[in-house]
Amino acid sequence: MKIAALQMVSSTDVARNLGVATALIDEAAREGAELVALPEYFCLLGRHDTDKLAAAEADGHGPIQQALADSARRAGVWVVGGTLPMRTDDPRRVRNACCVYAPDGRRVARYDKIHLFAYDNGREHYDEGRVLQAGDTPVTFDADGLRIGLSICYDLRFPELYRALTRPPCDLLCVPSSFTHTTGQAHWELLLRARAVENQCYVIAPAQGGVHENGRRTWGHSMIVDPWGEVLAVRAEGAGVVMAELDLERLRHVRGQLPALTHRRADLAGH
């Protein structure tokens, strides 16, 4: 299966971002992609964290979700819809939700980000918990026989989530992200390759990459990593398509020559 990570430099305007996302999905489909993945906050990188509250949608309804479903149906591809703000019972909080659509436009999965990012180096200050409500459930889905696990950005730093996702093993892990330039430069590739190696599966990581209207700079470097930790394709900055082949024979070879997944100790799970 050909898979594509779609990199964006999202703006403060939802309609404009949807236009860019739609064009990238169509471009990837023309190039032969069967599964495409958008970055975290592909639909909105606002000037303030609270901008997410105004753009939030009810589960199953709204222009962002409709655009994702329509794009999947029109292009005939699986769409991992980055993330969008989903309403909660608390008007001061939203969920950061990743919705997945089948080639016929049906929604087949929703994952809400579990780990909420907080960072302060004296110059940059972030605390997602001010407007986000954390999810609590790992989510996988099946796409044409492939087992695919979902995660979002800061989740990447928590290997126990991926261990939960890979019981049984996943063929592909998705990590739509919006890493800061500072943390991305230090840890992005290192963490992605580690997750691929320790779980012996492919990793697709679509990211925000560039300087945004709100003044924020994101790291980019959207990439696809194979189960041996090899980076198959990467884009440093700017909007575009990063594509590679998910090769099941490669998966079998890696797991066969080094059967680490079969050596896991059940009695150590959760410790």
DSSP percent split of the chain into helix, strand, coil, nearest 5? 30, 30, 40
User: In this predicted structure, what is the pLDDT of residue 125?
Assistant: 74
- In sequence order, the 6+-apart residues with CB closer than 8 A to the CB of 89 are none
SS3 102: coil
Rg (CA), the chain: 17
Catalytic positions, written as ranges: 40, 113, 153
Q: How long a stretch of residues is the chain?
A: 271
User: In this predicted structure, what is the pLDDT of residue 265?
Assistant: 86
User: In this predicted structure, what is the pLDDT of residue 9?
Assistant: 98
Separation CA 271–CA 259 (nearest Å):
22
Q: Which amino acid is at 150?
A: L
pTM: 0.96
Separation CA 208–CA 82 (nearest Å):
10
User: In this predicted structure, what is the pLDDT of residue 145?
Assistant: 97
For 163-177, write each residue's pLDDT tens digit.
Answer: 999 999 999 999 999
Q: How many CB atoms lie within 10 A of CB 257?
A: 8
CA distances from 212 to 125, 193, 238 (A): 16, 27, 10
Separation CA 188–CA 220 (nearest Å):
9
> Looking at the 3D structure of the chain, how many domains does it have?
1
> What are 96's two structure tokens?
């950061």
Domain coverage including residue 244: 2-268
CATH of residue 126's domain is 3.60.110.10
For 133-150, write each residue's pLDDT tens digit.
Answer: 999 999 999 999 999 999
Cβ proximity of 145 and 169 under 8 Å: no
Separation CA 242–CA 235 (nearest Å):
6
Cis peptide before 168 (omega within 30 of 0): yes
Residues in the chain predicted with pLDDT less than 70, given as ranges, are: 269-271
Counting Cα atoms < 13 Å in the Cβ hemisphere of 213 gives: 13
